[in-house]
Structure 1
């Protein structure tokens, strides 16, 4: 076979060609038909090959394929942003449309900084960001600097801005001590954040950044009840902003259109992506609340940021149609109903497996963390590549299922998990099929792994 000219993620792998994406299946050039149980990276929310979404993009390309946003806007961008702002029940004021989650986080960081330059009197000393360990907010340098994913950071540490620090994640499985109540655990984490503000200097902190349900870095970890109210109180105490990263967990994935709706807080800035456009175009965005937008409007009125392809007409068309489909077909309600079933069936099928340490999630966003020892929660050695090896086995003809692997959930380096995040329109039969195949896959993988 001719050598690929693509700078792939792994240059030692010959990737199969994807020839057709249809419903919840991916057809490969070698004849395999993969059940896409993760929607790629939790992207596919309405399944693949949806004609409404395809036609919306095609129609938009026939009208205008590009918009130079320094001069113009498009009707489709205006309608999408109105749809998004309307979905927040008046809490957010404006939307900014870009092409990836990393771009969205870069914009959010800069918007938070500019907010403190625009308010009266300005607070130019606020340049520091606090996030959490075992977090992932994007692969570009600014987004990576505020991330706590050790593997992704390692090669680039000398290039990353140093005005960012991290506190503990809200991770019940590994962070909560025996006998500690939820209230006590939340209180301890809130005190840790407060102490970090004081260590850095409260007048220097620009924002605290967190995912409401942690995706790739921890594997679908929801916060303990009351956590986000507590950290929002700390931010408010010191005048800092709260940035919630919903690129992976938002736009319906966890059972409400915006994950923060289940936390009883409203962020100052929110990032969205993945399920925003459902994979029909590259699109992501930033939502800003009235406080932030008012400061810019009453200040210079200019957000000093921009991308050539921001507000891409075809991206906006895809996102607008996908969001209309989600709303009109009541898919967020189905996420809640099928998510409850998926969580219950995963626990029934795998809760007793000796190498399944934890099963956690919300909506149609579930993670399974693997352990070498169930009682001590000891993770597997990094060199075993458990999550990736299991996911690769899943793609073989015996299983033909796609799950999303991740690592570092135990301590930032060790710890293996997979994510199961099917499309919002799955039914009972598909949930049963996913659980049955995943259970068989995990059983077979560890039977072989533990025998070696």
Structure 2
């Protein structure tokens, strides 16, 4: 039987736009959202009602490719969707576009797993004892990683006992998802809302924790000693230590010093603690570092970190609205299977989108060939940010690697950095450039790997000029600034 639907008239664009700003409780305060985006072409976004396109440098690692390259990634899933649509119209059996997890899995899951395997660290491929949990966004992937890590490293433990080692250690500067529910950020509800997150943070190599006139060697030695003291004090409560090899918004894309991070990971694992590396921001080759036996997809591989679990973010789905993320248990899948266990952090449509899985498989198959593009991004961005750091007299600290970069206003007061951020937003709006503004005061840049280098170079140059104008107006003295790096 064919049902005839009565279609309501479409709302006008103008009415929808005003409704969206007033009623969408999303990233920004009600009524403060960015305009609707009419079209995108690489980094150029056309906002409704605006005369010129804005050059978007942000997006928090949500997109990897654009234009014809993105079309190739989307092709297989799009064709499946077309076939399914035609079959549905004819009333015939159709290829499923998603499947409730209680009823099965999509056949495209096989292609995704085959495409993922070569990107695991070589030791994980050799041991072949891995599995993956799939989610829709990064914070859920982190929860799944914690879940699997605790199960595998504490087999048979009563995790409901009052003395159970289930707490999660987070760095003093970290962000692993929405602050009200995820490890890391402390607002608006604080640590009390986060369940397992330990209320005391371990020390990290953030500029906010550095002493004045402290050399790199002295800073790192002090941090390592303080981390050991931290574990001595809280190890009996901890089940997992959570690391971001390269920070996102919490420290504006600052990479960890690799040797220091390896020392932290080694110390945690020596004590029997599970280690999770959250690569939602820096993974999928965005870091731009050389591979170490596999493809260089994860910093975990490139820096030989050997965690128990590594996460990846939503850009694996192509950055076109087909959401997918995940947590890869690198060793211990056989133990879960033997105990008839799985990742309990799951939901009814986790990893069930055929389009997302097809997109991800296609992207992963191409990923190794994109390293040259990531290095072209670095060549376009790094000189302008290096110059900004120098010309600002250290009032803007710039850092990053590959296609993940950032800048921090260097005043020691968060209140002053926040004032500078407001001014920067106004100047960037006037210049037609949009970085990802970070709450600590500054910006983050996560270009697509195939963004036009010349357009990117010009946009970053305009952003740098906006920053220089801000610090000139702020008139900060050298004594106001965070401690500077000293060799």
TM-score greater than 0.5 by the shorter chain: yes
SS in 2 for 1:154: coil
- What residue number does 1:74 align with? 106
- Gap change, CA 1:230 and 1:347, over 3 Å in 2: same
Instruction: State the shift of 1:310 in Å.
Output: 0.7
How far the C-alpha of 1:392 sits from its partner, in A, is 4.8
8 Å Cα contact 2:121/2:300 also seen in 1: no
What's the offset of the Cα at 1:336?
2.8
**Cα deviation, residue 447, structure 1:** 4.7
Aligned runs of 1:13-412 on 2, under 5 Å? 13=32, 15-30=34-49, 31-38=51-58, 40-47=59-66, 50-61=70-81, 62=84, 63-92=95-124, 93-118=130-155, 125-139=164-178, 142-143=181-182, 146-147=183-184, 149-150=185-186, 153-161=187-195, 164=198, 165-171=200-206, 174-175=209-210, 178-182=213-217, 184-200=218-234, 202-255=235-288, 256-280=296-320, 281-290=322-331, 292-311=332-351, 312-327=353-368, 330-354=369-393, 356-372=395-411, 378-379=412-413, 381=415, 384-396=418-430, 399-408=431-440
* Distance of 1:345 and 1:445 partners within structure 2: 16
What is the CA–CA distance in structure 2 between the aligned matches of 1:347 and 1:297, rounded to whole Å? Answer: 50
Name the CA distance, whole Å, in 2 between partners of 1:46 and 1:436.
22
Distance 2:197 2:465 in 1: 46
CA distance in 2, matches of 1:360, 1:228: 17
- The structure with more strand, counted as a fraction of residues: 1
**TM-score (structure 1 length as normaliser):** 0.85
Higher mean alpha-carbon deviation, 48-57 vs 223-232, is at: 48-57
Q: CA RMSD in A?
A: 2.8
Q: Is the 8 A contact 1:134 1:217 kept in 2?
A: yes
Cα shift at 1:333 = 2.8
**3-state SS of 2:170 partner:** strand
Structure 1 residues 178 and 449: alpha-carbon distance in aligned structure 2, compared to 1, 3 A threshold: closer
Give 5+ residue unaligned stretches, structure 1: 373-377, 409-415
- Residue 119 of structure 1, CA deviation: 5.6
Query: Residue in 2 aligned with 1:412?
Result: none
Contact 1:245-1:270 at 8 Å conserved across structures: yes
Helix, strand or coil: the match of 2:263? Answer: helix
Distance 2:285 2:414 in 1: 33
Native 8 Å contact 1:380 1:386 kept in 2:
no
Distance 1:122 1:448 in 2: 55
Higher radius of gyration, 1 or 2 = 2
1:392-423 CA deviation, whole Å, 9 max, x = no partner?
53234xx2112011123xxxxxxx11012211
Change (3 A) 1:297 1:65: same
CA contact (8 A) 1:112 1:207 kept: yes
Classify 1:110/1:316 alpha carbon distance in 2 versus 1 (closer, same or farther; 3 Å): same
How far apart in 2 are the matches of 1:299 and 1:449? 60
Contact 1:112 1:241 in 2 (8 A): yes
Q: What is the number of equivalent residue pairs in this alignment?
A: 426
Gaps of 5+ in 2: 1-13, 85-94, 125-129, 289-295, 477-487
CA contact (8 A) 1:106 1:142 kept: no
Residues 120 and 450 of structure 1: CA distance in aligned 2, closer, same or farther (over 3 Å): closer
Kindly provide the CA deviation profile for residues 193-252 of structure 1, in whole angstroms up to 9, marking residues without a partner as x.
22222212x343211101000111110111123112101121122101110011111111
Tell me the distance in 1 between the aligned counterparts of 2:227 and 2:209: 18
Q: Which residue of 2 aligns with 1:438?
A: 463
- Three-state SS of the structure 2 residue aligned to 1:132 is coil
User: Following the alignment from structure 1 to structure 2, what is the Cα–Cα distance between the partners of residues 109 and 142?
Assistant: 14
Q: Deviations over 1:288-331 (max 9, x none)?
A: 112x323212322433332112112222122222223333xx21
SS at match of 2:438: strand
Answer whether contact 1:214 1:221 (CA < 8 A) is retained: yes
| Residues 149 and 275, structure 2, Cα contact 8 Å, conserved in 1 | no
Which string of whole-angstrom CA distances, capped at 9 and with x for unpartnered residues, describes residues 119-158 of structure 1?
A: 6999972212111012001117552xx21x23xx233444
Tell me the CA shift for residue 388 of structure 1.
4.8
For the pair 1:423 / 2:435, whether they are aligned, the reply is: no
